[in-house]
Amino acid sequence: MSDVDRALLRALQADSSRPLVQLAEQLGLSTSACHRRIKALEERGIITGYVAQLDPLKFGYSLIAFVEITLASQSRAAMEAFEEAVAEFDQILECHLMTGGADYILRIIAPDLEAFSEIHRDYLSQLPGVSSMRSSFSIKTVKLRSQYPA
C-alpha cells in the first residue's frame, strides 16, 4: 500500500463525509485519481463501509458492560451456536473469542442498570452453551477510538 493510500485512509477515517473535491485537494490528487484510489481500496476490501459515529448518551445508552462468557464446551458446534445467537442481538456491540480464562468477551450497551438486568435475565442467560458469565461495568471511557492506524 502506498503512502498516498495510507494518507487517504487516515483522511477518510477522520471524516468520510467530506466532499471528494476537498479530500483530493488535501492529498494533492485530482478528483478522478482520488475517486479511483477509493474504489480500489473498497474493491480490495480495505474499506468495508461508511458509518456515522453516534454519541450513545445522547440517545439513551449510558451503561457499557463487558461480559466474560465461558462455554460448557469448546466444540465447534457449541461455539458456532453461541456466535450465531450473539450476532442476532443489537445491543451486543462486540463479541471477541478470547484466550485465557473466558472463552468470549462481549461489549454491551444499555440505557441503565435495570435494562441491563433485563438483558442479562432474558437474553444472556438464554444463550446456548453458556456455563458462566461475569459482568463488569465501565465507569469512565478513557479512550474510544474507531480509527485504525494507517
Q: pLDDT-based confidence at 23, cuts 50/70/90?
A: very high
Neighbours of 112 (CB within 10 A): 11
> Is 147's pLDDT higher than 80?
no
> Is 114's pLDDT higher than 90?
yes
Helix axes 3-14, 31-43, angle to 10 degrees: 90
Q: How far apart are CA 84 and CA 128, in angstroms?
A: 10
Residue 149 confidence (pLDDT): 80
Residue 144 confidence (pLDDT): 84
Give 79-106 pLDDT, tens digit per residue. 999 999 999 999 999 999 999 999 999 9
Domain boundaries of the chain, sorted by first residue: 3-43, 56-137
Q: Does domain 56-137 have CATH number 3.30.365.10?
A: no
Give 40-66 pLDDT, tens digit per residue. 999 999 999 988 888 888 989 999 999
Domain 3-43: assigned CATH number? 1.10.10.10
What sign does the CA torsion over 51, 56, 60, 65 have?
Answer: positive
Residue 119 confidence (pLDDT): 96
Q: pLDDT-based confidence at 150, cuts 50/70/90?
A: confident
Neighbours of 88 (CB within 10 A): 8
> Is 5's pLDDT higher than 90?
yes
